Chain A
Amino acid sequence: MASTVNIIINGREIQAPEGMTILEVAKKEGIFIPSLCYLDALEPEGTCRLCIVEVSGSLRHSIRVSCIQEVKEGLIVETDTERIKRNRRVLMELLLARTPYSKELLDLARKIGVVTSRFQSEEFDDCVRCGRCVRVCRDQIGAYALCWVNRGYQRTVTTDFDRISEYCIGCGSCVQVCPTGALKMEDRGNERIIYKWGQILARLKLEKCEKCGKPFAPKKYLEHMAKKAYKPRGLQLVEIICPDCARKVERPVPAPEFPVGKMPFGF
């Protein structure tokens, strides 16, 4: 049993396990802190800065990024002061300058009281550079298909040498975790395409379902699942069947010690 610390968030006394970050505690307690780059399954990186909070008490009175700030005994956290709101709005306006058309970001902006941005940029796309896609591809999937290139203003997510990736397994995790919908995935005929604003990142041929003949998943993805999900449980990939057909097939009830239903991803 890990030791707990006593902290106060928005005037509420909370006992939290040591080593947890402020954002995690707040989420558990149902306190809303806007964030873009934070995801349970990933190591927090603190890139979007939207989750800033005001801390005092055992830490010097200051503004901290709550997704990477660990809780401390006697910490007093304020998530919604005027100062925080003002700072957060400026951050959001800056994000909106580069990302003016993302529906998801606009929704979040409205939630924290930003309608338009005072700043304007000549270059724009849908990406907020939160790095979720890069992290999920690297840490969770282990495909290393995406990477950061350049620095500062030119920083962007791409594949090796900006070519169509040969390392991508077509799992679509990057698309799923993208908070602004900058990455997109489409199955066109028997091809899966993962693309972002003006660049195709991956293009994979889909395998056909052995039952209904519908193309449904790339080969590399099936191999990955066989290795990561089936093998540890002593299972094997015997037939290539799409999810729709798999539900119709009668299978022997799996042994109770195997966890059923959940994919090994954290989301």
Chain B
Amino acid sequence: MLDVETIDSILAKFPQPKGNLIAILHEVQNHYRYLPEEELRYISKRTGVPITQIYSIVNFYNRFSLKPKGKHVICVCLGTACHVKGAEKVINEVKMKLNIDVGETTDDMKYTLEEVRCIGACSLAPAVVVDDTTYGKVTPKEMASILAKYK
């Protein structure tokens, strides 16, 4: 369902939509938790940016998603430092607990599991980001208690 009002109110914030396309897409993604096709086509029509270019951008950046994401996004860092410090075990713990694979969302649309390369928190390795909160030196046991916080 195309929600014209929401998109219009987001577009109204940006006087030059062509240059602020990524910022617009961020806001739309924050609102829907993903980027629906119809909305993107509408943005294309309103801003005059060809839909293929928007599609390219959305595909290029990992942050953007064309699939609905869960209420909470769990990003497990698998950068070098985190990998060495056992991020694999942490990610396996999440996979087991939620019964999903990387990039998937639980059926109740509550959690999405993602792996990221480096989040720049190597001193806190292994690091996990849930929504906007970063957790450092996470052990598999702690991971379970972190998950319990997000309902």
Q: How far is the CA of A115 from the CA of B52 in the complex (A)?
A: 37
How many chain A residues touch B (Cβ–Cβ < 8 Å)? 12
- Chain A 30-88 interface residues, beta-carbon cutoff 8 Å to B: none
Specify which of B51, B52, B53, B59 lies most central, judged by the most chain A CB atoms within 10 Å of its CB.
B52
Q: How far is the CA of A76 from the CA of B4 in the complex (A)?
A: 60
Q: Is A160 an interface residue (CB 8 A)?
A: yes
Q: Which of A145, A147, A167 contacts B56 (CB 8 A)?
A: A147
A to B contact number (C-beta, < 8 Å) = 29
Instruction: Give B29-64 as 1s and 0s: 1 = Cβ < 8 Å from A's Cβ atoms.
Output: 000000001000000000000111101100110000
Contact (Cβ within 8 A) A150 B59: yes
Contact (Cβ within 8 A) A144 B59: no
Q: Which residues of B contact A22 (CB under 8 A)?
A: none
Q: Which residues of B contact A146 (CB under 8 A)?
A: 52
Contact (Cβ within 8 A) A148 B51: no
Contact (Cβ within 8 A) B56 A149: yes
Interface of A is mostly: loop
Q: How far is the CA of A145 from the CA of B53 in the complex (A)?
A: 9
Measured between C-beta atoms, what is the minimum distance from B24 to chain A in Å? 17
Contact (Cβ within 8 A) B50 A144: yes
Contact (Cβ within 8 A) B51 A167: yes
Q: Is A258 an interface residue (CB 8 A)?
A: no
Q: Which residues of A contact B60 (CB under 8 A)?
A: 148, 150-151
Measured between C-beta atoms, what is the minimum distance from A38 to chain B in Å? 22
Q: How far is the CA of A237 from the CA of B51 in the complex (A)?
A: 29
5 nearest A-B pairs in the assembled complex, by CB-CB distance: A144-B50, A147-B52, A149-B59, A147-B56, A160-B51
